[in-house]
Amino acid sequence: MERIGFIGLGIMGKPMARNLLKAGYPLTVYNRSDGPAEALVAEGAVAEASPQDVAADADIIVTIVTDTPDVQQVLLGESGAIHAITQDNIVIDMSTISPTATREMANIIRGKGASMLDAPVSGGEGGAIAGTLSIMVGGEEAVFNRCLPVFETLGKNIVHVGQSGAGQLTKLCNQIAVAVTNLAMSEALIFGAKAGLDLKKMQHAIQGGAAGSWQLSNLAPRVLERDFAPGFMVKLQQKDLRLVLQEADRLKLPLPATGLVHHLFHALESRGGGDEGTQALVKVLEQLGGVEVKQEN
């Protein structure tokens, strides 16, 4: 089996790495803090001191870190993976980052005789744990085919969407749809609360029809329980929306609904809500409407 090096063991990365271990892949890992790596070492992984050390022991190097500068650091920095990458290595970046930066890094890695795929994911922590993520992959098709068994360990809906950068662009499309649907869900809940409806019954009534969405089925019940713990943090959603709006600016494309959600999340962040789950968007609408979304027992 391919030897996997895994860089980034956060909310998403740790369960993804664990699924690779369970599938029998030889796994080396690196994380900036020691705790997550130690847990995986107890399950059979080998921890390394730097991304460079991870790359030295791997055929395929997977990265999933927070933002564009973080990917650039672990791949191209002083102790980055680039210093140990050799011909026929593959880098799979599963973070959500700039499509332009992705293409630039792919060109640098190609100069080493290696290949890079951009393969951001959707499905949240639950999908990472269950191995049911949606994975959208940009890069050469032959490289994608070689890595398909790895992707099939991590997800269920795996699509090769085009050349380098196409995976990141597709993920930005995903984030547009996610963010705007989150706003629609929040407005439906606010309206129902103000109108005095039984919100749990309202949710069940509409989620099986044309209004159904992942947000309505999975996030609305958490709002009704006043559970704002993160499956995906507001500050990370905001990072993704900045990437969307930067790319839209480059394309000279108006995205009014996406821009509105971005500004509403700004209001939430200004009140200290950046570490909450994205379902906390409803709190901004609650303040504007003078009503609280809560299931009455």
Q: Which residues are catalytic?
A: 171
What tokens does 78 get?
Answer: 């002083």
- Residue 252, Ramachandran bin (φ over 0: left; ψ between -120 and 50: alpha; else beta): left
Residue 138 to residue 136: CA distance in whole angstroms: 7
CA distance 234 to 272: 10
Cα distance between residue 223 and residue 146, in whole Å: 42
Q: Is 72 helix (H, G, I), strand (E, B) or coil?
A: helix
CB burial of residue 79 (10 Å; 0-12, 13-18, 19+) = middle
Who's near 258: CB < 8 A, 6+ residues apart? 176, 179, 180, 241, 244, 245, 248
Taking the C-alpha atoms of residue 235 and residue 217, their distance in angstroms, rounded to an integer, is: 22
- β 121-122/133-138 pair status: antiparallel
267 token code pair: 């209001």
End-to-end CA distance of the chain: 53
Cα 29 to its chain centre, rounded Å, is: 19
